[in-house]
Amino acid sequence: MSEKVKINKVETPIDQRETFVSLSKNFSDGTLSVAEKLRVLYALQQTDTEIDRIVSLRGALPQEVEAIEQELASLKSKIAANKELISGFEATIEKNKNDIGDLDNDIARYHEQLGKVTNSREFDSINKELENLGLLREIAQKHINEARMSISEKKDAIEAINDRITIREEDLAAKKSELDNIVESTAKDEAALEAKRKSYTEKLDERTLSAYNRIRASVHNHLAVVPVYENSCGGCFNAITPQKLVDIASGDKLVICEHCGRILVNPLADAE
Ligand SMILES: [Zn+2]
């Protein structure tokens, strides 16, 4: 009989707002020693800084490309809206042309009757009818003329929008090729850095990574792990207490800047 050992893995949900301070209690847990973990974190930070530098070479180009693409989409939907209006006006023209055809038939019939009238009362009544039909015909013709004018206006508008589209498509192609060139020229370096980044993140537990990512995202210089700079924090430049300086120098203690929450490391600490 084999005895099966059931292991209940208890997982604490990762608090997205977690900082290094809240991690410090359990920092040495896991497979890495504190010294190793600090080295991996610092290496990760340096890799991310290099990736940031590559991404910054693209400047505002990605946003510019996106803005032009949005403008083009909006211009194209304006054209579609104008085309829909035009087909509405064309339907109006068609309907009024049919009405005029019917009216012309009626008018011809009344003219025929007019030749056969026998008294003045009938004559007046037919003339009155012809007058009304003539009026209706004028109104229908007016609708046709108005619709034709509207169509011509909409066609002008479409032409102007198309001119704008041509210009913006050229802008887009230029910006895209500029961006592609930059991306292409740095693609190899970036891929290598991403691979390095992956190897570091795989060594770290999720809680530490989450804290690292959170701090990096919340500070303007995107530095979550910093070296000491002239006895001050390399992230916020506030002074570090002498005891903490000693701890940082040892390379095997987690030291967090009390001012900004960043991890302070000694890049020169001996590798084990
Ligand atoms: Zn600081």
* Domains of the chain, each with CATH number or no CATH: 20-58+202-265 (no CATH), 61-185 (1.10.287.1490)
**Span from the CA of 199 to the centroid of ligand 1 (angstroms):** 27
Q: Per the structure block, which two tokens stand in for 192? A: 């290598």
How high is the pLDDT of residue 12? 47
CA pair distance 181, 187, nearest whole angstrom? 10
**Span from the CA of 257 to the centroid of ligand 1 (angstroms):** 5
Do you know the residue count of the chain?
Answer: 272
**Span from the CA of 54 to the centroid of ligand 1 (angstroms):** 25
pLDDT in tens, the chain (272 residues): 445 555 555 444 545 456 777 777 777 767 788 999 999 999 999 999 999 999 999 999 999 999 999 999 999 999 999 999 999 999 999 999 999 999 999 999 999 999 898 899 999 999 999 999 999 999 999 999 999 999 999 999 999 999 999 999 999 999 999 999 999 999 999 999 999 999 999 999 888 999 999 999 989 899 999 999 999 999 999 999 999 999 999 998 999 999 999 999 998 865 44
Q: What strands, in cross-sheet order, belong to the sheet with 255-256?
A: 232-233, 225-229, 263-265, 255-256
